[in-house]
Amino acid sequence: MVRKMGVYAVLAYVIYGLFFYWYLFHFADSSLPFEYQGTKADPATFLNSRELMLSEEYSKIRNLLFFLSTPFEWLFYFLILLFGFSRAFKKWAESSSKYKLPQTAIYLIWLSFFAFVATFPLSYISHSLSKTYNISTQSFASWMKDELIDFWINYGTLMIIVPVLYWLMKKSAKRWWFYAWLLSVPFTLFMMFLQPIVIDPLYNDFYPLKNKELETKILSLAEKAQIPAEHVFEVNMADQTNSLNAYVTGIGSNARIVLWDTTLNKLSDDQILFIMAHEICHYVEKHIYIGIALYLLFSLIGLYLTYRIMNWAVRHFGKELKIPDVKDIRSLPLFFMILSMLMFTASPFSNLISRYEETRADRYAINMTQNPEEAITSFQELTRSGLSEVKPPLLVKIFRYSHPTMLDRISILEEYEVKQRAKNK
């Protein structure tokens, strides 16, 4: 039975992978609708033939890697349970210490190490792909350092969460999911508060904007929106990527707008001001706090569903999965697997909300700067630097895109440009 379940799981993953290969490389149509051809949203108007070819190739492979990576985690956790590795990790932990907390630490280091090794090939392929297409400029040593930082941050986080989670399971078999969620609220807020000042600097150097002339212009935009100027930072990314980006991070007094130095190097001041106005909207409309609220709502639903599915799985397949009880730490891979599945399932909804907020931010930015030409060229440069698709396939948009497609974004700006010209006549 165990061998059969393992074979079926691997076969299901292979069929899933073949489906997405067929979908992305043979079925999905990313060609531009006729009405957009020749417009400023048409990549043929701002990319050369080589860039168009590379963009199509890179996007297809990158999208395939995305759809393969998350279900691969599910397969990994399932096989870890099925073939008794989780049980072995617990035995090794119990033989190494008689105290509960060190046992948990040892179990987690084994599980984390095996997960790191299992997912490393896909991570490395993704890194190599971005290097091949000149998106990434990061050396292997630098990339490996970031991977190891990720590993230890994740391990440290698990060392806080897992002992508390299984203590709650033992104390309340029916309500642990709710108590875990209650504790996750202050923990999430605390981690978001720490993110910009503790975690992010482990990867890159952050400093106040160096260009004082640009800073003065940004100050003027920030003043209109009543946003403190000290929240504008730049970060060194040129040694890692050729892509452009800007984002909002942190909460409370640690909230800040961050610009990559690649953005500062490749875009004009007016283009950057449009991007800054976009980020300012996230402050003004409290998108960060809305995102936190939605995350906490999804996590409440997710923990409840995880509780129900875990109980069902252990009740029906506990013997095959080597899990005697939900509250036994051997069930942790099952917990991770179910939670990951639920997050993947919920991603179309969270992406839809995010795209709505990003569209509002684009409209806010163009109304504030009133410079559609610079806004359009900034999006064109973002497309070129990241070799991104202007019109991605439907499933890619649904599962991957937290921002509107460049087709949608540039089209909105073109409409604004047409209306502005009509007013000026």
pLDDT, residue 362, reads 93
pLDDT of residue 93 exceeding 90, the answer is yes
The region of weakest confidence among 6-10, 90-94, 378-382 is 6-10
For strand 256-260 and strand 206-208, is the pairing parallel, antiparallel, or unpaired?
A: unpaired
CA 136-269-199 angle, 5° bins: 45
pLDDT, residue 279, reads 86
User: Over the range 7-35, which residues count as b (16 or more CB within 10 Å of their CB) and which as e?
Assistant: eeeeeebeeeeeebeebbeeebebebeee
Q: Which residues touch 314 (CB under 8 Å, ≥6 apart)? A: 321, 323, 325, 326, 331, 334
Q: Which tens digit of pLDDT belongs to each residue from 354-413?
A: 999 999 999 999 998 888 899 999 999 999 998 989 999 999 999 999 999 999 999 999
The model carries a pTM of 0.91
Q: Is residue 88 within 8 Å of residue 134, measured between CB atoms?
A: no
Q: Would the CA dihedral through 8, 10, 14, 16 be positive or negative?
A: positive
pLDDT, residue 81, reads 94
What tokens were used for 247?
Answer: 């984002």
Domain ranges for the chain: 2-204+286-424
pLDDT, residue 16, reads 96
Residue with tokens 């279900």: 71
pLDDT, residue 204, reads 86
Residue with tokens 């001001």: 273
Q: How would residue 199 be classed by pLDDT, with cut points 50, 70 and 90?
A: confident
Identify the active-site residue in 234, 279, 374, 389.
279
Q: In whole angstroms, give the CA distance from residue 140 to residue 31.
A: 35
pLDDT, residue 30, reads 79
Is 35 assigned a catalytic role?
A: no
